[in-house]
Structure 1
Amino acid sequence: MVPPLALDIDGTLTTPSGRIDPRVFELLPGWDAPVVFATGKAFPYPVALAHFLGREETVIAENGGVAYVGGETTLVGDPDAAWAVVEAFRERGGAIGWGDGDTVNRWRETEVALGPDVDAGLLREVAAAAGDDVEIVDTGYAYHVKSVGVSKGRALRVVAEALGVDPAAFVAIGDSENDASTFGVAGESYAVANADAAARNAADEVVDDGYMNGTVSVLERLRERDE
Structure 2
Amino acid sequence: MKNVKWFAVDIDGTITLNGNGMVNLNALSKLRYLARLGYQVVFVTGRSSIEALALAIFGGTTQITIGENGGVISTAPNSHKILADIDKCRKGYEILRCELTHVNEKSVFPRMSEVVVDRTFNLDEGNRVFKEKGQDLILVDSNYAYHINETKINKGFGLDSLMKALDIGYDEIVSIGDSTTDIPMFNRTKYSITFESSTKEVRNTATRVVKGENGDGLINAIDWIMEQKSYCEII
* TM bucket, shorter chain: 0.7 to 0.9
* Contact preservation (8 Å) 1:193, 1:211: no
Deviation of residue 121 (structure 1)? 4.1
Deviation of residue 13 (structure 1)? 0.8
Which whole-Å CA distance do the structure 2 matches of 1:85 and 1:118 have between them? 15
* Contact preservation (8 Å) 1:157, 1:167: no
Which whole-Å CA distance do the structure 2 matches of 1:137 and 1:143 have between them? 5
Aligned to 2:55: 49
Deviation of residue 204 (structure 1)? 1.3
Aligned to 2:170: 167
Q: Quick check: 121-130 or 203-212, which moved more? A: 121-130
TM-score normalised per structure 1:
0.87
**Does residue 37 in structure 1 map to residue 51 in structure 2?**
no
Which whole-Å CA distance do the structure 1 matches of 2:92 and 2:69 have between them? 18
Which whole-Å CA distance do the structure 2 matches of 1:14 and 1:215 have between them? 10
Which whole-Å CA distance do the structure 2 matches of 1:10 and 1:193 have between them? 16
Deviation of residue 62 (structure 1)? 0.6
Deviation of residue 14 (structure 1)? 1.0
**Does residue 210 in structure 1 map to residue 213 in structure 2?**
yes
Map 1:1-227 onto structure 2 (within 5 A).
3-16=5-18, 18=20, 19-31=22-34, 32=37, 33-69=39-75, 73-91=80-98, 92-96=100-104, 98=106, 102=107, 104=108, 106-227=109-230
Q: Which secondary structure state, in structure 2, belongs to the residue aligned with residue 200 of structure 1?
A: helix
Which whole-Å CA distance do the structure 1 matches of 2:135 and 2:13 have between them? 30
Which whole-Å CA distance do the structure 2 matches of 1:122 and 1:21 have between them? 36
Q: Which secondary structure state, in structure 2, belongs to the residue aligned with residue 168 of structure 1?
A: coil
Seen in structure 2, the aligned counterparts of structure 1 residues 132 and 87 have a Cα distance that, compared at 3 Å, is closer
Q: For the aligned residues, what is the CA RMSD?
A: 2.2
Q: Quick check: 34-43 or 200-209, which moved more? A: 200-209
* Contact preservation (8 Å) 1:12, 1:212: yes
> Size of the alignment, in residue pairs?
222
Quote the sequence identity (%): 28
Structure 2 residues without counterparts, runs of 5 or longer? 231-235
User: Counterpart amino acid of 1:67?
Assistant: I
Seen in structure 2, the aligned counterparts of structure 1 residues 69 and 157 have a Cα distance that, compared at 3 Å, is farther
User: Counterpart amino acid of 2:181?
Assistant: N
Seen in structure 2, the aligned counterparts of structure 1 residues 207 and 116 have a Cα distance that, compared at 3 Å, is farther
User: Counterpart amino acid of 1:4?
Assistant: W
Structure 1 residues without counterparts, runs of 5 or longer? none
User: Counterpart amino acid of 1:188?
Assistant: Y
